[in-house]
Chain A
Amino acid sequence: MARWITSPRDFWTGLIYVGLGAGGLWLALDYKFGTVGRMGPGYFPRVLAVILIAIGLVSLFRAFSSKGEPVTHIAIKPLLMIVGAIVAYGLLVHTAGLIVALLVLILMGAAGSSQFRFDVKAIVGMVLLVAACSAVFVKGLGLPIPLVGPWLQPLLGVLGTVR
């Protein structure tokens, strides 16, 4: 971090606020603004976006003028693994089915922890959790999520004929 940024948290917050505000404003320019008396769909968003940009700018100004705390260590690995695990789950749940999606979610998510070991205990826990979730949510509460999705249906058929 450059030395002239004396309050890094203010700096990053300001940057995010200005970014979100500018993005919002740019999008909101497409919506009709209207007048104060007859506000169009773009009135409220544009006003909000401008306020957000202003707040962000003040925060940026503070980043150079006041002294503040540094941003503490960011847990990049847990963050990426967990967010990635949820996205993978979303991709798999309707295609490969809940069982596979949960296995991926739990394995990837758990791997985000520095304490994670892929041992017997972890596997047993995972299998139990997947079985419990399938039983409670799909069989018990009747959520319309396929346990085995279309991708893996043929596999099920093969297993059926072998048996």
Chain B
Amino acid sequence: MEVFDGLALGFATALTITNLSYCLLGVFLGTAIGVLPGLGPAATIAILLPATFALPPVTALIMLAGIFYGAQYGGSTTAILVNLPGETSSVVTALDGYQMARQGKAGRALATAAIASFFAGTVCTFLIALFAPPLTEIALKFGPAEYFSLMVLGLIASIVLASGSILHALGMIIIGLLLGVVGTDVNAGTQRFTFGFLELADGIGFVIVAMGIFGIGEIVANLENEGTRDVSIKTVSGLMPTREDWRRMVAPVLRGTALGSVLGILPGGGAALASFGAYALEKKVSRNRAELGKGAIEGVAAPEAANNAGAQMSFIPMLTLGIPANPVMALMIGAMIIQGIQPGPSVIKEQPALFWGVIASMWIGNIMLLVLNLPLIGLWVRMISVPYHFLYPSILAFCSIGVLSLSNSPFDVYLMALFGFLGYVFKKLDCEPAPLLLGFILGR
């Protein structure tokens, strides 16, 4: 079986000491930043991107995947413990998770989230291993027309699924595309929109846009209502779910995984849509639906399974077609391009070790989440309870040093400040930044 050969190669790649330790480091750092209230996976990855540049491509992608899972899980932790979801996909988790925490069942809610995510992650790793190779075969036959149609589909999906106004999302895509135009025109060699700055001749760095909008913009937005924030946390005890919990968890986890896997492949889909869908499904079919919203374990298990499944399945369009389904995948594609890899169907043929290594590391990353995060929960709780005004200056410092590591040019620092400003303004006007980033990636 080709799949098993591939997976064997993947595990051989991912299980080296170097790659394992970077995967671990990624999961750890991802969780550490992800638990900070208000910072979701996209922001976390944007902030930590520069840390991966010095690594070889496979290791860098493995670490990024680790960061992604860590951030995702960290977001759920914050949602459950303090009712502050870092991103849309954990909004639903906060509904029942926070109620459970208030009833003194925080430990069990956190464990449920971890177990549900792990199960969904395991299933999806194998689904990806099964379906990605045949899909790349099809994708290799695609010509420009098919690609263009897929991109348009992806952009339209990202507009329709944006939480704000559709019209504004459309505008954000156009702005993203316009930003992608900046730099030297490939065909004619004309300098476009560079304002005479040599630094812009190669275009605007993708990391700069991402860090500015997601990193800096989020920091400012979080400072807006810090006075009213309540970060009192109950002590977390009793991590192990009871027998009753396990019994109630099974069906929702299966349903969530199934729904998440399907919705995750859709362009523009991914984690957020999946978790909302799963919660809605539980409300219809669960035996304990009357308890939902009042601290039912189903309300944590199903959306957590679904959002992890969805998040992971969104790797499929990225790995096989090179098309980002959501901002996180857009960041991954950006990271691959920086590493000198053109994402798309040829990756599996030209870089089989990288392709399978990333897939294998998804599963390893999920295991690490389970073994690392449950014992470390005390540490994360302490991180959440540190007041935000002590933490964000360090994030500022990391971003500022990180952006210098790109090309050691202060110009990039100014650009990041500019995009941070824009990011906050757009946030205030309810203009989703995700379509802008997708447009920017596709426009280049």
Contacts and interface: CB of A to CB of B under 8 A. Distances in A.
B439 to A, nearest CB: 10
Nearest to B223: A78
A102 B397 contact: yes
A36 interface: no
B167 A62 contact: yes
Contacts of B168: 13, 59
Contact of A89 (B185, B193, B400): B400
A59 B170 CA distance: 11
Contacts of A28: 192-193
Contacts of A137: 401, 405
B393 A143 contact: no
B405 A143 contact: yes
B404 A143 contact: yes
Q: Which of B219, B393, B428 has the most CB of A within 10 A?
A: B393
B396 A52 contact: no
Given A41-B190, A106-B393, A71 B429 contact: yes
B367 interface: no
Interface in A32-50: 32, 39-42, 44-45, 48-49
A39 B175 CA distance: 20
A20 interface: yes
Interface string A68-91: 010111110011001101110111
Contacts of A153: none
B397 A105 contact: yes
A125 B397 CA distance: 13
Interface in B54-94: 54
* Band of interface residues on A: 35 or more
B434 to A, nearest CB: 16
Contacts of B410: 90-91, 93-94
Interface string B404-444: 11001011011011001100110011110000000000000
B187 A41 contact: yes
A97 interface: no
Contact of A69 (B389, B420, B430): B430
B175 A31 contact: no
B54 A82 contact: no
Given A45-B178, A83-B417, A87-B417, A93 B389 contact: no
B55 to A, nearest CB: 11
A89 B168 CA distance: 33
A83 B171 contact: no
B250 interface: no
Given A13-B168, A89-B413, A137-B401, A31 B190 contact: yes
A109 B393 contact: yes
B188 interface: yes
Q: Which of B221, B227, B425 has the most CB of A within 10 A?
A: B425
Give the 7 A-B residue pairs with the shortest CB-CB distance, closest first. Answer: A90-B413, A78-B223, A113-B389, A41-B190, A41-B185, A86-B417, A90-B410
Interface of A: 9-10, 12-13, 16-17, 20-21, 24, 27-28, 31-32, 39-42, 44-45, 48-49, 51-52, 55-56, 58-59, 62, 69, 71-75, 78-79, 82-83, 85-87, 89-91, 93-94, 98, 102, 105-106, 109-110, 112-116, 125-126, 129-130, 133, 137, 141, 143-145
25 contacts: A12-B429, A13-B171, A16-B425, A27-B192, A28-B193, A39-B187, A41-B188, A52-B171, A55-B171, A59-B167, A72-B428, A75-B224, A82-B220, A86-B396, A86-B414, A87-B417, A93-B404, A93-B410, A94-B410, A105-B400, A109-B393, A110-B393, A114-B227, A115-B388, A143-B408
Given A62-B167, A110-B393, A115-B387, 8 more contacts: A28-B193, A39-B187, A93-B410, A102-B397, A130-B397, A133-B397, A143-B408, A144-B408
